[in-house]
Amino acid sequence: MAQILVVDDEIGIRELLSEILTDEGHDVRVAESATAARRARDEGRPDLVLLDIWMPDTDGITLLKEWATGGQLSMPVIMMSGHGTIDTAVEATKIGALDFLEKPIGMQKLLAAVSHGLTRGQRRAPVGLSLAAFIRSAPLKDLKRRLEQIAVKSRLLLLRSAPGGIVELAARTLQVPGKPWLDLSTSAEPLSMEALEAASGGVLYCEELARLTRLQQKNLLFALDRLDKFELRLIAATDQDAANLATHGWEEAALRRLSEVWLALPGLAELKDEIPDIASHLLIELVEAGQAPLRRFSTGALNTLRQQAWPGGYAEMKSAIRSLALAALDEEIDSDEIRSVLFPEAAPSAAIMLPGMPAEAMELPLREARELFERTYFEHHLRADGGNMTRLAERTGLERTHLYRKLKDLGLRGGKGEE
């Protein structure tokens, strides 16, 4: 018995498809919108999805693309539409849809497509996380555009990154779905023509030039001469200058070739606001790959991760997320769990709170935290000044009318008037 998710905004179609597939022995869930589909997909992990294109909140093509770029397209998806065109079907297939059904859908055609999808659609191994997953981050979207522009004209790219930078995240962006990924730093044998042919169309990757052995350096240069022949990309990175790389055995001529096209990458220190999004996607990637049980972060947990320094950069963060996913005792990972698993020696956040401010204030959204701070602030000064509004206005620097309005908005009552 397969778990099938039917996504369609028309109740009649949802009920009809659900009835047919249930009679065939499948476990069917339905969703009336993209929002409901996201929730049902995360909760149920379906074996196959029937996805309508035209929906009121987010269209099916956009949702399909979201799943593909977010590493969540680990199940076959069959698109449905009553107004489909060849161009739409081609676009859906390119993104990752397995099939396309035109409404009204005949019963035999439906069952044949579902059978085909379940036969071919063994859960796919998700590709590594890339910048394509971050559709709301301006700096990461800009970086993705730069990488793609460079890739149009060059098969070789050197990434210059501080230690712990987002090298792999950037390099995975240029990997074509379904094409090989060959990490040159893991090879202990000479690279052969047969190995390059097997990797055709894929990415050859090196996270740090300074860590390659002499044999691995030779392998990289061997591949560099054959990128066009096998339609390969070579993406290497380093945080070393030419002088330091020379001490690791790199010759000047080789470094000159590798540096023909290069791009500087930001580190996590410059991407503080993106850390919650990166952490969430890393966790999704682990769950989708079957490397961790179902887990999710609370808002407070994401804020806690954002506040960490991450001296080891992206690699340290990946390791931390994996550790949390495996060690967490509940499905939702909260701030206390993060401190218990990762930073047990860290001082609690309450230590930096004002008197009367609860420890969980640091985990609240900014608007709520600001309101809590303002209420605590005015309560403190009302007590200190014995409720004298004149002194409170002077101390806070607020005009009296504004002060009264602020206290009313916060649910506080002013004390004595002029004395």
Query: Could you tell me if 353 and 360 are in contact, meaning their C-beta atoms sit under 8 angstroms apart?
Result: no
Tokens of 405: 């309005």
Does any domain span residue 44? yes
CA distances from 184 to 175, 217, 223, 228, 233 (A): 15, 9, 10, 18, 12
Beta bridge pairs of residue 31: 7
Tokens 């987010």 found at: 58
How far CA 8 is from CA of 51, 260, 381, in Å, comes to: 7, 51, 56
pLDDT tens over the chain, length 419 residues: 789 999 999 999 999 999 999 999 999 999 999 999 998 887 778 999 999 998 888 899 999 988 887 777 878 999 998 876 778 888 888 888 889 998 989 999 999 999 988 887 655 555 678 998 888 889 999 999 999 999 999 999 999 988 778 999 999 999 987 789 999 999 889 999 999 999 999 999 999 999 999 999 999 999 999 999 999 999 999 999 999 999 999 999 999 999 999 999 998 888 989 999 999 999 988 887 778 888 999 988 999 999 888 888 898 999 999 999 999 999 999 999 998 998 886 544 444 455 556 655 666 677 777 777 888 888 888 877 777 888 788 778 788 888 888 888 887 876 554 44
CATH number at residue 262: 3.40.50.300
| Prediction pTM value | 0.63
**Residue 389 identity (one-letter amino acid):** M
- Check which CATH number belongs to the domain holding 57 and give it: 3.40.50.2300
Domain count, the chain: 4
Q: What's the rounded Cα separation, in Å, for the pair 151 and 175?
A: 11
H-only helix segments in 154-192:
167-172
Q: CA-CA distance, 56 to 41, in Å (whole number)?
A: 18
3-state secondary structure of 296: strand
Q: Assess if residue 385 is contained within a domain.
A: yes
pLDDT at 414: 63
Kindly report the CATH number assigned to the domain that includes residue 336: 1.10.8.60
Same domain flag for 375 and 404: yes
pLDDT (0 to 100) of residue 257: 95
Please indicate, yes or no, whether residues 69 and 106 belong to a single structural domain of this protein.
yes
Q: Extract the tokens encoding 194.
A: 């047969």
Would residue 417 count as lying in a domain?
no
Residues 229 and 254 in one domain: yes
138 and 231 within one domain: yes
CB distance 414 to 381 below 8 Å: no
Which whole-number Å values give the CA distances from 219 to 201, 212, 257, 313, in the listed order? 18, 10, 15, 27
Q: Which helix (H) or strand (E) holds 36?
A: helix 34-44
Last residue of a domain, one of 220, 242, 266: 266
pLDDT at 362: 64
- 214 and 286 both lie in a single domain: no
The CATH number of the domain holding residue 373 is 1.10.10.60
Chosen domain end from 227, 244, 266 = 266
Taking alpha carbons only, the member of 243, 195, 242, 246 closest to residue 220 is 195
- Domain match, 156 and 227 both: yes
Is the distance from CB of 136 to CB of 113 less than 8 angstroms? no
383 in a structural domain: yes
Q: 198 with 223, same domain?
A: yes
**Positive/negative CA dihedral, 284, 148, 226, 250:** negative
Q: Containing domain of residue 179, as a range? A: 131-266
Q: Does 418 reside within a domain?
A: no
